[in-house]
Amino acid sequence: MLNLSTSMRDALFRQAHEQHPIECCGIITSLAGEPRPHRLIPMHNAAQSKDFFIFEPREQLLVWREMDVRSEFPLVIYHSHTASKPYPSSTDVDYAAAFPDAYHLIISTVKHFCPAMRCYYIKHGRILEQELTFEQPPLFY
């Protein structure tokens, strides 16, 4: 199960709609040893495509180095679908092989799909949908 704050959910929808019709993409980190989402990192879709995404290699290298310094790891790889339901395409399944331990979150910008955001584990070509919940951020820090 993946539990996101409502503010993180809203930021994901905002990014997806702002970048439409190009697929948005990015990662959500977690601190080492913690299964909770920590930080949202929007990234550039190097493909600039409405049908698929790929992280820009230099940006990805810099982000992964920063995560190492901060003791973070990629908990979620996310992207949007601009003309289809939030279900992994064959290209998504192939790309997911590089991140077998991460959740894969897909946000659809097509208005009639509900839910518009879904979460999966994708391992060895198998797509396993995961429960996705949202919580309010704490009132006091």
pLDDT at position 46 over 80: yes
Q: Is residue 123 part of a domain?
A: yes
> Quick one: tokens of 71?
């003791």
What's the domain range around 44? 2-135
What is the C-alpha to C-alpha distance for residues 44 and 73, in angstroms, rounded to an integer?
A: 19
Count of domains in the chain?
A: 1
User: Which CATH number is 13's domain given?
Assistant: 3.40.140.10
Task: Please check whether residue 141 lies inside any domain of the structure.
Answer: no
**140 located within any domain:** no
Q: Is residue 6 part of a domain?
A: yes
Q: Which residues pair with 134 in a beta bridge?
A: 4
**pTM (2 d.p.):** 0.93
- CA separation for the pair 123, 134 (Å, rounded): 24
| 43 within a domain of the structure (yes/no) | yes
**Is 50 exceeded by the pLDDT of residue 141?**
no
pLDDT in tens, 47-102: 999 999 999 999 999 999 999 999 999 999 999 999 999 999 999 999 999 999 99
Determine, yes or no, domain membership for 25. yes
